[in-house]
Amino acid sequence: MSVWRSVAILLLIFIFSAVTFTLIAISSNQYTESFIDAVIYDWFSVVDNDFTHVVSWVSFFGSGEVLMILTALLMLWLGLKRKSYYQTFFVAVVMGGGVLLNLSLKFLFQRDRPEDISHFEIFGYAFEWVSYSFPSGHAMRAFLFCTLMIYLIWLYVRHTRTKIIFSLLFVLLILFIGISRVMLDAHFPSDIIAAFVASLAWFTLCLAVFRSFYNKRLRKQQDQGLKLREGDTDMPK
């Protein structure tokens, strides 16, 4: 598949995700649960609530502190070990931009949480900003980080079976973190779904832009008879 064809597919996914997010946002009431929430709450009504302790640990993995540390470690590995500076910058843009996008959407929609009002908190320090519900920050961060891991696994790991196994594990982790936020009564289900599609839109847009830029840079260097640095050859083709 050519680079420009893959970019076109990524942009189509971005448009579909953005439209889906818009429809969810329109259907979600600012103060009460939507039709989607009511349906999913019916499903959760049959789930035993004895797993609250386990669910809390699953939810903790999507916290800003944990994913900030994991993202920093991932960037250090890419930059120092792999010498792949394009990939390092790509991770920084996806995760950093995703956090800013989530904050912007929260303040744009200002949907109250199912539970009491909470405030942003990181490493034990609470800010005076209200942490709104729509879309879920935990779900967005988890989706973006796990999607990055899946992307890097398919880029670097050679064995197909290993790629599939780890990809499925990260997909399950995304789902479990999203479910945990609903079970802990921290978010409406529509907050989680909106976070997933918003993250998919952001990731595909970033990947489309980076692939386009890399392809132009590669063509320019090939025309000039230059050789890419070893780390830069890991960018998607």
Q: Is 129 left (phi over 0), alpha (psi -120 to 50) or beta?
A: beta
Q: Would you state the pLDDT for residue 232?
A: 47
pLDDT tens readout for residues 112-146: 877 765 655 665 555 566 778 889 999 999 999 99
pLDDT above 50: residue 237: no
pLDDT tens readout for residues 207-218: 999 988 876 665
pLDDT tens readout for residues 57-108: 888 888 888 999 999 999 999 999 888 888 999 999 999 999 999 999 998 9
Instruction: State the pTM of this model.
Output: 0.83
Helical (H) or strand (E) element with 13: helix 3-27
pLDDT tens readout for residues 158-177: 999 999 999 999 999 999 99
For the chain, percent helix, then strand, then coil, each to nearest 5? 75, 5, 20
